Chain A
């Protein structure tokens, strides 16, 4: 390795060419200062703001998601409540309708029973009347038949006596 100051001939090491050092140091310092100002004035505040904003957005979104979840739970509870209410209401309506129908039915049954009873009573009365008149007719026929029979035997019989005897027989 030559010891003379390097001047672009091959053999020396350019890194050790002291004559270029002030130039290198000057330009490196300029470069560093420029990079530093570009970063601190524009780049870093911007990236820092974006990162902070993103963190904020993510936090907000998580909070919003949590709130939505709560509201969904509430809505579900309300829905369940409404469903239960509707079910209870329906049950009430069904029971009321059933009671009403039952009442109508009972009234109709009672009415029909009363009618049937009335009709039966009337029929019974008429049957009794018929039986009565039939019984009277039988008695009458029997008395006449008895008088005719007695007359045929040629006996003059008392009509009163025959009537009493027939009546007693028919009854007995």
Chain B
């Protein structure tokens, strides 16, 4: 067991590097993240466009998967936000598919997991946050602020509740983004730690390899569940903007 061999760098997988050559990462520089974002676009196109190119009444396998995703997200939006929220379905589906494919592609060995970066998930969460807030004021005008004034509570404690409601409203994007990014980052870091053990332990590396297998299975679940959680929370927030609380 060489000292060199035990150098585990679980976080190195998250480093963002320019795709071509070395140097500084400017805002426009194509990076390894850009590459994997591009792959997720390709995968989504393959599923939703190539998979449905036959427009078959009796769907092929790929077409029924596309229809399954469509129906799943559509009914989620309809169930959570109601009929009025259905017009935001394309935005929700964009978010869901992006997160799902970024998560799942991140599980390909040697790949890069875009959604493990808080900057990425915070961008998504802030888009939802500002989108919902603006929609709320557009749809309900000043009445949107009524959601902070809990009329079902006694008048005396309403101001206190209002403060709590407002704080929780502004904490939404934080929890929304950290939940997704943290889960993905932690899972991939753990995988890398066990992989480092496997490289250093010789014959005993059977144990970490088994552990990697188990954690990988868990991570597949996490990848899908976190995409689902992010999407359904988006729908829940959207409901506030679409319907008034009374």
Q: How far is the CB of B245 from chain A (nearest CB, A)?
A: 29
Q: Are A50 and B14 interface neighbours, CB within 8 A?
A: no
Q: Does B56 contact A (CB under 8 A)?
A: yes
Chain A residue with the shortest CB-CB distance to B126: A25
Q: Are A34 and B57 interface neighbours, CB within 8 A?
A: no
Q: Are A47 and B52 interface neighbours, CB within 8 A?
A: yes
Interface string of B131-156 (1 = CB under 8 A from A): 00000000000000000000000000
Q: Given A39-B93, A44-B90, A47-B70, A14–B14 Cβ distance below 8 Å?
A: yes
* Chain A residues close to B by CB (< 8 Å): 8, 10, 12-17, 19-32, 34-36, 38-40, 42-44, 46-51, 53-54, 57
Chain A residue with the shortest CB-CB distance to B30: A27
Q: Are A35 and B16 interface neighbours, CB within 8 A?
A: no
Residues of A close to B14: CB separation below 8 A: 13-15
Chain A residue with the shortest CB-CB distance to B59: A50
Q: 8 Å CB contacts to A: which residues of B32-51?
A: 33-34, 37-38, 40-41, 44-45, 48-49
Residues of A close to B204: CB separation below 8 A: none
Q: Given A8-B17, A57-B57, A23–B11 Cβ distance below 8 Å?
A: no
Chain A residue with the shortest CB-CB distance to B40: A31
Q: Are B15 and A47 interface neighbours, CB within 8 A?
A: no
Residues of B close to A48: CB separation below 8 A: 70
Interface string of B83-106 (1 = CB under 8 A from A): 000000011011101100000000
Q: Are B48 and A38 interface neighbours, CB within 8 A?
A: yes
> What is the size category of the interface that chain B forms with chain A?
35 or more
Q: How far is the CB of A55 from chain B (nearest CB, A)?
A: 10
Residues of B close to A44: CB separation below 8 A: 48, 70, 90, 93
Q: Does B220 contact A (CB under 8 A)?
A: no
Chain B residue with the shortest CB-CB distance to A53: B57
Q: Given A15-B185, A35-B44, A36-B91, A27–B31 Cβ distance below 8 Å?
A: yes
Q: Given A14-B11, A14-B15, A35-B97, A42–B91 Cβ distance below 8 Å?
A: no
Q: Does B123 contact A (CB under 8 A)?
A: yes
Identify A50's interface contact among B29, B67, B119, CB under 8 A: B67
Interface string of B212-240 (1 = CB under 8 A from A): 00000000000000000000000000000
Identify A24's interface contact among B33, B57, B90, CB under 8 A: B33
Q: Given A44-B70, A57-B57, A10–B41 Cβ distance below 8 Å?
A: no
Residues of A close to B98: CB separation below 8 A: 31-32, 35
Q: Are B26 and A23 interface neighbours, CB within 8 A?
A: yes
Please, how many angstroms separate the alpha-carbon atoms of A20 and B31 in the complex? 10
Nearest 9 pairs of A and B residues by beta carbon: A43-B48, A22-B27, A14-B14, A24-B119, A31-B37, A10-B9, A20-B16, A21-B119, A36-B94
Q: Are B117 and A15 interface neighbours, CB within 8 A?
A: yes
Identify A46's interface contact among B52, B90, B117, CB under 8 A: B52
Chain A residue with the shortest CB-CB distance to B28: A26
Q: 8 Å CB contacts to A: which residues of B2-34?
A: 9, 11-12, 14-17, 24-31, 33-34
Chain B residue with the shortest CB-CB distance to A16: B118
Q: Given A25-B123, A32-B98, A35-B44, A15–B181 Cβ distance below 8 Å?
A: yes
Chain B residue with the shortest CB-CB distance to A40: B90
Residues of A close to B123: CB separation below 8 A: 24-25, 28-29
Identify B31's interface contact among A23, A36, A39, CB under 8 A: A23
Q: Are B34 and A20 interface neighbours, CB within 8 A?
A: no
Identify A35's interface contact among B41, B71, B117, B127, CB under 8 A: B41
Residues of B close to A29: CB separation below 8 A: 123
Identify A26's interface contact among B27, B70, B114, B185, CB under 8 A: B27
